[in-house]
Amino acid sequence: MLTVVFIVAAYLLGSISFALITSKLFNLPDPRTYGSGNPGATNVLRSGKKAAAALTLIGDAAKGWLAVWVAIRYSQPGEQFLMLPAAVAIAVFVGHLYPVFLRFRGGKGVATALGVLLALNIMVGLGGLATWLIMAFMFRYSSLAALAAAVATPIYAFLLGLPQEWVLACGILSLLLIWRHKSNIRNLLAGKETKIGSKKPA
């Protein structure tokens, strides 16, 4: 029963959209009405308010980190210590992708995935972040950087010897993140993807 409570709470926490919260705080338009229409930090950045984008990034990452940290902190030794954080990691991420509060139309999950990974293992999280930063600096495409990090992080988790349940959770997160970027993949292949910092017409 406690496991179900943790998973449901994690999903609801993931469903909180910091893109909408920060946009309201800064009197910005709903991020779903311009740019890519994605309620995430990259799209909020297209509003021109870097502070709002930064707060969105921090908030979305923090909810992923908090959910998994609490699950690890309160897991009992043994099998539950491995299974509960893995289940909560997936639940909070799915909450961000398909939030009940936004009719199941959420963000693409990059920041939330980062928070989850940092809670599971800081080195895996930093490895994913480094991959994103390198790719973003080289090519200036947030989506391409996210896809590269998604492919890399389960490999990092495996090489660093994380429990197989956590490696599997990292793999599921990566597959979901890649799936949510399917339109970006099409745009990248067609040469139509918007670069970081560019203002895409509504």
The verdict on residue 199 lying in a domain is: no
The verdict on residue 27 lying in a domain is: yes
CB-based burial label for 33 (10 Å; 0-12, 13-18, 19+): exposed
The verdict on residue 57 lying in a domain is: yes
**One digit per residue, pLDDT tens: the chain, 202 residues?**
788 999 999 999 999 999 999 999 999 999 999 988 899 998 998 888 999 999 999 999 999 999 999 999 988 777 678 999 999 999 999 999 999 999 999 999 999 999 999 999 999 999 999 999 999 999 999 999 999 999 999 999 999 999 999 999 999 999 999 999 999 999 999 999 988 866 554 4
Tally of domains within the chain:
1
The verdict on residue 45 lying in a domain is: yes
199: left (phi over 0), alpha (psi -120 to 50) or beta: beta
Give the C-alpha distances (Å, rounded to integers) separating 192 from 4, 45, 183: 43, 19, 11
- The C-alpha atoms of residue 14 and residue 83 are separated, in whole angstroms, by 19
The verdict on residue 156 lying in a domain is: yes
Q: How far apart are the first and last CA of the chain?
A: 46
- Provide the sign of the torsion angle of the four alpha carbons 11, 63, 116, 61, taken in this order: positive
Domain extent for 184: 2-190
The verdict on residue 195 lying in a domain is: no
The verdict on residue 201 lying in a domain is: no
The verdict on residue 144 lying in a domain is: yes
